A and B are shown apart, each in its own frame.
Chain A
Amino acid sequence: MKTIAISFALLAVLVRPAVAESDVSSLVERADMAYRGATSAGVFDMTVKTSSFERSYKVVLWGDEGGDKDRALVKILGPALWRGFGTLKVGDSLKLYNPRTNHVTVVSSSMLGDSWMGSHFSNDDLVKESKLAKHYEAELAKKWTADSDLGAASTFYTVLLTPKPSAPVAWARIEYTLVEHGDQIIPTRADYFRKQAQPKPSRTMTFSEVTDLGGKRLPSVMKVTVASKPGEYTRIVYKKLKLGVKIPKGKFTEQALKK
């Protein structure tokens, strides 16, 4: 879910008029600076495929990265077995609501690494702040020109992110691949490495199906795969995304979670 938040942030930021000479190290920082104060809301379908089952949810997500704490509310819209399930994060606190038993579970910090709703995202992904420039050093690994979903002769960048000393992050290395065309930049792939010297990524996220979302050209499909579980994935397909949305009052409260 962090990744969802990151991608929202990335989407929110990267599509803003990009500076022509894309200084890669400042790109991440500009991304961070830009998504502070940004709000977003979206509806997406999430499909979880594991070795033993496959299931889909329709999900609505409200996010507010401004203010003192990051806030997010996720509600499951369907199917029946999960409709009304809610996840509320305010800063580091995470609550899960179950309408069947009308019970709110306060998730302790020891459980943050566990799977969220049976997907390949952890509870922690939802909670953890994702201010990349704050926690990671960025350097340009590769730059090339090719055709992309944004248009012919786009510029691709592979940015290497390594955590700053004592940064409270789970990854030792992240490789981001971004594509720039005209005034637009979108991510195409992110590889997450648990160890610095690891040859293959622990987790990979790919972005595809560029469409009109929230008034921009954005990838509408995100797919996460985990190296330790071949054949499994979690895929998110955006139906609707609105950036800078006006958040209804009381959206990030327990009342809204249980509504």
Chain B
Amino acid sequence: MSRTLKLAWRNLGRNRRRTGITGMALIVGVALSVAGYGLIDGMNAELLRALTRNELGHVQVHNPAYPDSHALGKTLNNPAALIETVSKLEDVVGVAPRVYGFALLSAKGKSIGVQLVGVEPMREQKVTTLDRQRVAGDYLDTEPTPWPRGRALSEEEQNQDAALTAAAEAEALQEIEGLDGEEAPQSAADTQRLAEILSPPPRHAPRVYMGAALAKTLSVGVGDKVHATGQTADGQAEETFFEIAGLFRTGTAGLDRGRLYLHIVDMQRFVHLYDRIHELSIVASSPHRAPQIAAELRAVLSPQDYLVRTWSEIRPDVKQMLDLNDVSMTIMIVIIFFVAALGVVNTMLMAVLERTRELGMLKALGMPARNIVGLIVAETFFLVALFSILGTSVGLLADWYMVVHGIDLSSVTSGFSVGGVTMNPVFHGEITTRGVVYPSAILAVTCFVASFYPAVRAARLRPAVGMRQT
């Protein structure tokens, strides 16, 4: 057999130009595929990173009724124990509790409805890149704002309130009738006192972290105060001023234009959801660990109270897009290799036809047919192996460039959105095992199969006919 291999290797060198041209085609094919995988895997990883590390995390836990209704009251039971359970799981890197709500923000004669998100500043850092997206000022303070809770009015206070309402009504009725009512100078101060029992103001304006585009809309900057009005979970209203601690820019328009982060305890106070949370976002060491972690959580959490979803379940559209990218890349590779395989078949067929006399002679000398098949297949193997290695090397060079420098599209676009996820305009490649192995492996299989036609043709040669050829 070793003689067959030696013969095969030498045969490759007999027509170097032909071998070289076929080899070039293989190098280009393999290099393109390796680089293509590098680009697609890089894009997919970037998309996934943008999706999960801007906001989503890899796994989320909600009250089952929350995702559809976004009702303030649909919170998670026993968040402290839940966080502890999750933190103990293997491969969990970060766990961030969140509280959501809405407020009407107003400053300098402008107003806009925004989403408020209460986060634990330290925990959030391990889940999202929120703190690193800061473009001005500071990230959130680690300590919440001193902000006492309200209490219900006592019976005496309720009576006083009823009397104040009655007095205000009487005054309004008198005014409607065109009579001069008696002003009650006390009432404003009394009302203020009662209102502060029900809902004491914070000691100082809670510091918040705001989207840069939102700040621009309201014409405010770091250190400015904005007025916020919001509905609470128990049907009251809260109004307060927020002080802008810092501004962030994620690149995702919806977040930059319509979001404001504050300390989770301040947020719980603002919407009257003390010690309760809407969402738990979990980040694992890799997005691919998400299904495993979700399964482990589902095993210990009651499905009536906890809805556990992976990023791909929350955003099936993004998952589909990633899969689609993979499929289109694979189709491209199949096309490339179909063409490459035709080239290889052609080369080997030529090599066989050219050597009819020689092969006839080998057969006449008693070389078994299977050895002749082996010879041709081995020739193909050497051809493919040699140039696959070269092609992969060229592809890896291209990959290396894309990993280190990236492909900068910022001259064309300042960032674009894929399925609502904003991508960095500089694409970085990513070298994955499959990206390096698949092209060579697919090529080897394709060519191995393709080489059988010329090989069998050679083996079927009748020695007498073959030798008579010139």
The answer to whether A43 and B176 touch across the interface, beta carbons within 8 angstroms, is: yes
Count residues of A near B (Cβ-Cβ below 8 Å).
42
Contacts of A83 in B (CB 8 A): 164-165, 168, 187, 191, 195
Contacts of B236 in A (CB 8 A): 53, 55, 81
Within 8 A of A (CB), among B54-90: 71-73
- The answer to whether residues A77 and B172 also contact, given A99-B188, A107-B111 and a CB cut-off of 8 A, is yes
The answer to whether B176 and A101 touch across the interface, beta carbons within 8 angstroms, is: no
Task: Indicate if B175 sits at the interface (CB-CB under 8 A).
Answer: yes
A75 and B175 CA atoms in complex are apart in Å by: 13
- The answer to whether residues A240 and B176 also contact, given A52-B73, A58-B169, A83-B168 and a CB cut-off of 8 A, is yes
Task: Indicate if A108 sits at the interface (CB-CB under 8 A).
Answer: yes
Contacts of B239 in A (CB 8 A): 98, 100-101, 103
- The answer to whether residues A246 and B237 also contact, given A52-B72, A81-B199 and a CB cut-off of 8 A, is no
A53 and B237 CA atoms in complex are apart in Å by: 12
A177 and B111 CA atoms in complex are apart in Å by: 38
Task: Indicate if A166 sits at the interface (CB-CB under 8 A).
Answer: no
The answer to whether A106 and B111 touch across the interface, beta carbons within 8 angstroms, is: yes
The answer to whether B235 and A80 touch across the interface, beta carbons within 8 angstroms, is: no
Task: Indicate if A84 sits at the interface (CB-CB under 8 A).
Answer: yes
Rounded to whole Å, the gap between the CB of A64 and the closest CB of chain B is 13
Task: Indicate if B151 sits at the interface (CB-CB under 8 A).
Answer: no
Within 8 A of A (CB), among B99-138: 104, 106, 109-113
The answer to whether B191 and A43 touch across the interface, beta carbons within 8 angstroms, is: no
The answer to whether B111 and A111 touch across the interface, beta carbons within 8 angstroms, is: yes
Rounded to whole Å, the gap between the CB of A120 and the closest CB of chain B is 13
Rounded to whole Å, the gap between the CB of A244 and the closest CB of chain B is 12
Task: Indicate if B233 sits at the interface (CB-CB under 8 A).
Answer: yes
Task: Indicate if B241 sits at the interface (CB-CB under 8 A).
Answer: yes
Q: What are the interface flags for A43-55 relative to B under an 8 Å C-beta threshold, 1 for contact and 0 otherwise?
A: 1000010111111
Q: What are the interface flags for B157-168 relative to A under an 8 Å C-beta threshold, 1 for contact and 0 otherwise?
A: 000011011101
Instruction: Please name the residue on chain B nearest to A84 by beta carbon.
Output: B191
The answer to whether A79 and B165 touch across the interface, beta carbons within 8 angstroms, is: yes
Rounded to whole Å, the gap between the CB of A94 and the closest CB of chain B is 9
Task: Indicate if A114 sits at the interface (CB-CB under 8 A).
Answer: yes
Contacts of A18 in B (CB 8 A): none
Contacts of A82 in B (CB 8 A): 237
Rounded to whole Å, the gap between the CB of B455 and the closest CB of chain A is 71
Within 8 A of B (CB), among A22-39: none
The answer to whether B192 and A100 touch across the interface, beta carbons within 8 angstroms, is: yes
The answer to whether B240 and A80 touch across the interface, beta carbons within 8 angstroms, is: no
A120 and B71 CA atoms in complex are apart in Å by: 16
The answer to whether B234 and A101 touch across the interface, beta carbons within 8 angstroms, is: no
Instruction: Please name the residue on chain A nearest to B161 by beta carbon.
Output: A80
The answer to whether B235 and A78 touch across the interface, beta carbons within 8 angstroms, is: no
Rounded to whole Å, the gap between the CB of A239 and the closest CB of chain B is 8
A9 and B235 CA atoms in complex are apart in Å by: 31
A100 and B200 CA atoms in complex are apart in Å by: 10
A98 and B201 CA atoms in complex are apart in Å by: 13
A99 and B168 CA atoms in complex are apart in Å by: 15
- A-B contacts, 29 of them at CB < 8 A, read A42-B176, A43-B169, A51-B71, A52-B234, A53-B234, A55-B236, A75-B172, A77-B165, A77-B172, A78-B162, A78-B166, A78-B169, A80-B161, A80-B191, A83-B165, A83-B191, A98-B239, A99-B191, A99-B192, A100-B239, A101-B227, A103-B106, A105-B227, A106-B111, A108-B111, A111-B113, A239-B169, A240-B173, A242-B177
The chain A residues found within 8 Å of chain B, CB to CB, are 41-43, 48, 50-55, 58, 60, 75, 77-84, 96, 98-101, 103, 105-108, 110-111, 114, 117-118, 239-240, 242, 245-246, 248
Taking A58-B165, A81-B195, A240-B176 as known contacts, 10 extra A-B pairs with beta carbons closer than 8 A to each other, sorted by chain A number, are A41-B176, A77-B172, A78-B165, A79-B161, A79-B162, A100-B199, A100-B201, A101-B241, A103-B241, A246-B178
Listed from nearest, the 5 A-B pairs whose CB atoms lie closest are A53-B235, A78-B165, A80-B194, A105-B106, A77-B168
